[in-house]
Structure 1
Amino acid sequence: MLILLAAGCSLTTTSSSDIFDVPILTNWTKESGIRVVNNVSTCTIRLNDGRYRMYYPGADGISSSISTDGLIFTAEAGTRVARGTGSDYDADMAKDPDIIDEGTFYRMYYTANAADGKHRVMSATSTDEGYTWIKDAGVRINYTASYDQLADVQAALKISSNNYLMVFVYDWNGPNSLKGAISTDGLSWEVKTLTGFTDNCMDPDLILDASNNIIMFFAAPRTTSGPEPMDIYKATSTDGLAWTVTGRAIQPETSEEGNIVGDPDVILLPDGSYRMYYYGGNPRVQSDILSATATSL
């Protein structure tokens, strides 16, 4: 039986030492149990047959698990997107999957780590419900020196038929750690500057709400004194470039979460509610995939 845990906080403002002086949101209800043990950076899609497929970093690339209810996941054999070899841009690692449903196929954007330490965003497509993937030619977001060797942990959103938005981490220590990109076809991207964020914002996830407003969930340290505690925040935008942080959505409270939560992965459920998958715990030691639900964003 699934036991729902109350979020354990009321709507209130954060303390004066917090980076974002925003309310603590109470619409997310944490679900008990662990969805996937010892992993981070998931992307979950709901298949046409009603099952859920979750993607995450694996030893040889991007792996997946399958579920009939979105709560109990079973690992699938093989690797969905294998890392490359030799001088391939993804020879060291393929990770951080994020998927757009294009109707007749899925496109996955993923972080490609090269052997020289540079990170880029690449993509792959699938026509069989996200099981078999073929890498697209070229690079979606390329490395440049101004990105501090990073084009990393990206999130993509199809706003309309010829309007795509991507947000990615580009500089862990700069004045604004997130950048955006826009595209008319999902393949060629123009990098843009975002406003509304601070240092060390990371793990973006993009979704449209019921009114087609652009919503981002992302992780950030709570205060300037150190990386912990780490919370998940909500931000809104009308154009995908100028953002307003509106609340703290998830904060670490349980033993599984420890002092860190991150990598939000939000999906729309059949009844119109939402489920957020996220990791809890220190990813350098062990972090598990957890979940929470909300009737609205």
Structure 2
Amino acid sequence: MKKALVLFLVLSLVAISALTVFAKNPSSSAFKVHKGVRIKNGVSSNTIRMADGSYRMYYTGQGIMVADSVNGKTFTNKRQVLDLPQVQEVFADLTQISNSAIIKLNDGTYRMIFEGRSGAQDSAPRRLYSAISDDGLSNWTIEEGVRLEDGEGNSVFTSVPEIFKLSNGYLRIYYCTGTKTKSAVSSDEGLTWNKEGLIRLNKKMKTLVDADITKIGKKYVLLFADLPDVGKKKGKKAKGKVKAKAAKLQRIYRAYSKDGRRFKYSGVVIALKKANAMDPDMVQVKGKKHFIYFSKMKPGSMSSDILSASYR
């Protein structure tokens, strides 16, 4: 009986210790956040590996930017590849461009799907447009027409595209519609898309945005963020006053799928203590080792930095 009691106490202490460690660093043990900043004043990256093994990161800054890296941690040669005035030559009503996703086509050229907002307000319509380039860096040609338009209710909100090439050669795009994520499939390398509807998660969540998809082995790995809880909630009373409850910070989560549409929730993987973590962007380093780039933004701030973490 005494041995059983001692064993129970030991196991309890181990459990408490594990919970304490998790509280201090709630990120998954498989994810290790690197020190330092990869890109200052950047957000929403889309990183691809080049034939020579280097890393090319597209991100939102002053328009659509790009930077290069040999090791995936130090990025240099930051420059603009697409700006608003160039896009306005074809789409005069657009007031902002952001959130690019790049795919290399079968003929070796590159297509960029990007978000365009037509209006000054955050609630203004957001649609997905495209441009094409021989090398993915220069001489981008804006393509006519809207690639994709969707939303929730009466709003037009089509944002943060993520493109994945399927085994049959088709493309699947994941995109945010405000608080949820949907997908669509293209058989003509991204010119036209057939909508598939909401992606499914076996856990109820208020929001699921900023989707990033990577296939590791036979499983699709989904990384996604939530939106900050900015509802008016009351905290505990203190000396007759009611303190406002602090908004929950954005975190990055993981889920798995066999088909890329129905996912099994796997928990929080990146959570920062005093800042939002969002816009995950996973790229393979070698074998099962991957880097995850993500955006860090402090509450109330209008600027963000791009950080990185290791995933194995």
Alignment TM-score, normalising by the size of structure 1: 0.79
State whether structure 2 residue 34 is matched by structure 1 residue 31. Answer: yes
2:304 to 257, 268, 287: 287
1: distance between equivalents of 2:259 and 2:287? 28
- The equivalent of 2:95 in structure 1 is 92
Partner deviation per Cα, 1:180-217 (whole Å, 9 max, x = no partner): 21222222112223222633321111111133x22211
2:216 aligned partner, one-letter code? D
1: distance between equivalents of 2:280 and 2:32? 14
2:51 aligned partner, one-letter code? N
1:133-148 residue pairs with structure 2 within 5 A?
A: 133-143=140-150, 146=153, 148=155
How many equivalent pairs are there? 268
Mark the CA change 1:210 to 1:38 in structure 2 (over 3 Å): closer, same or farther. same
2: distance between equivalents of 1:160 and 1:135? 28
State whether structure 2 residue 285 is matched by structure 1 residue 269. Answer: yes
State whether structure 2 residue 161 is matched by structure 1 residue 159. Answer: no
Partner deviation per Cα, 1:159-181 (whole Å, 9 max, x = no partner): 12433222211133xxxx22221
8 Å contact kept, 1:280–1:289: yes
Q: Which runs of 5+ in 1 are unaligned?
A: 1-8, 16-22
Q: Percent identity?
A: 27
- The equivalent of 1:105 in structure 2 is 109
State whether structure 2 residue 196 is matched by structure 1 residue 189. Answer: no
1:145-294 residue pairs with structure 2 within 5 A?
A: 146=153, 148-172=155-179, 177-185=180-188, 186-191=190-195, 192-196=197-201, 198-211=205-218, 213-221=219-227, 227-253=247-273, 258-282=274-298, 284-285=300-301, 286-294=303-311
SS in 2 for 1:252: coil
1:41 aligned partner, one-letter code? S
> Relative to structure 2, which stretch is displaced further, 230-239 or 28-37?
230-239
Q: Which structure has the larger Rg over C-alpha atoms?
A: 2
1: distance between equivalents of 2:50 and 2:136? 6
Q: Which runs of 5+ in 2 are unaligned?
A: 1-16, 234-245
1: distance between equivalents of 2:29 and 2:300? 29
Alignment TM-score, normalising by the size of structure 2: 0.75
Mark the CA change 1:202 to 1:27 in structure 2 (over 3 Å): closer, same or farther. same
1:171 aligned partner, one-letter code? G
Mark the CA change 1:132 to 1:27 in structure 2 (over 3 Å): closer, same or farther. farther
Partner deviation per Cα, 1:55-100 (whole Å, 9 max, x = no partner): 11132x21111222211112433x3122222771772122101122
Query: Higher helix fraction: Structure 1 or Structure 2?
Result: 2
8 Å contact kept, 2:251–2:277: yes
Partner deviation per Cα, 1:237-257 (whole Å, 9 max, x = no partner): 23333222222111114xxxx
